[in-house]
Amino acid sequence: MAELPDVDTMYKAIAEKNSEFEGIFFVAVKTTGIFCRPGCRAKTPKKENVEFFRTTKESLLHGYRPCKICDPMGQAGESPDWLRPVMKKIEEETNARIKDWDLRQMGVDPNRVRRWFKKNHGMTFQAYLRTMRISEAFGRIRHGEKVIDTAFSSGYDSLSGFTDTFKKTTGFSPKKSSEKNIIFITRILSPLGPMLAGAAENGICLLEFVDRRMLETQLKRIKKYFKADLVPGESKFFPGLNKELKEYFNGDRRDFSTPLSIAGTEFQKKVWDVLMDIPYGETRSYMDQAVAIGNPKSVRAVAGANGYNAIGIIIPCHRVIGSDGKLVGYGGGLWRKKYLLELESGQNIKQ
């Protein structure tokens, strides 16, 4: 079974209602017979009354039933039923301006919407709407539409108001859109915790677990490589990526077809090409990788290049193990590496 964090760390997480541990473990309460997410709002039980499991399946098999408050059987962060009319309106009307009155007309409490967006997107609902409008406006200006036309068709009453909002969001004025690049950033949920995805103009350039210590370094590298600014927003590549990741974690997908836009040196790209040649369900050693690129003496350099891979799972650096067969060197944590290898061998597909 995949490794869990130590008990003290997990208990501290449930005491602090820390939702960043979503997907990493579930906590079961012996005195009530229920199991919960780490961030459940219910009263924190005593340490001696809890036990921890890796999956909902394990929790159920040990006789626990799901909590009605945090609904551990659902996908954390997915749009709940009560929010779906709002999300549908946003999808259908990209430039929609949805005020509190509009939310109430849809039977939705504005305060509840604000809390959900703050928790799941790290921004208010109105900030989310503004970001979506600016994301689309950037693309239209970049492809030749006049700034003034974009401003008014995006629902702004004045060019100055549009310009100010655009600059606050992107860091540059609309007129510079044709010479600037933007990498859109979003959070994608997984059974192993939330991931940060980034999309450049031609494909996915980032897919990392949000708690990876090297994430900030990766973001700086990507910004420099693409000469781009990072902006929360939507990309045409995100829906496909999200769909394929869900299929992968369900055991229904072995290969990814989402376009990639890879940031790296020629040597790194050569190493990553070899990674992508490792078949699903199989592993290779760093030496095997070095031999595959035609340089058996480059084992250490190969290991370093694997560490700089910014597109986890799709470029499967988790399939590389030590020459002695032990799990080594995975930025997302060895427990995640073990989970992914077990998933690909058919051992731990969630049911």
> How do residues 11-31 score in pLDDT, each as one tens digit?
999 999 887 777 788 999 998
Q: Which CATH number fits domain 81-179: 3.50.50.60, 3.40.50.300, 1.10.10.60, 3.40.50.2300?
A: 1.10.10.60
The answer on pLDDT for 349 being more than 70 is no
pLDDT digits (tens, 9 = 90+) for 138-157: 777 777 788 888 877 777 77
Lowest mean pLDDT among 36-50, 181-195, 213-227, 240-254: 181-195
User: What string of H, E and C letters represents the secondary structure of the chain?
Assistant: CCCCCCHHHHHHHHHCCCHHHCCCCEEEECCCCEEECCCCCCCCCCHHHEEEECCHHHHHHCCCEECCCCCCCCCCCCCCHHHHHHHHHHHHCCCCCCCHHHHHHCCCCHHHHHHHHHHHHCCCHHHHHHHHHHHHHHHHHHCCCCHHHHHHHCCCCCHHHHHHHHHHHHCCCHHHHHHCEEEEEEEECCCCCCEEEEEECCEEEEEEECCCCCHHHHHHHHHHHHCEEEEECCCCCHHHHHHHHHHHHCCCCCCCCCCECCCCCHHHHHHHHHHHCCCCCCCEEHHHHHHHCCCCCCHHHHHHHHHCCCECCCCCHHHEECCCCCCCCCCCCHHHHHHHHHHHCCCCCCC
CATH classification number, 248-344, choose in 1.10.10.10, 1.25.40.10, 3.30.70.360, 1.10.3720.10: 1.10.10.10
pLDDT over 90 (residue 323): no
Q: Is 7-66 assigned to CATH 3.40.50.10440?
A: no
pLDDT tens by residue, 60-98? 778 788 888 888 876 655 667 788 888 888 777 767 788
Find the range with the poorest average confidence among 1-5, 179-183, 275-279.
1-5
Catalytic positions, written as ranges: 317
Supply the pTM of this predicted model: 0.66
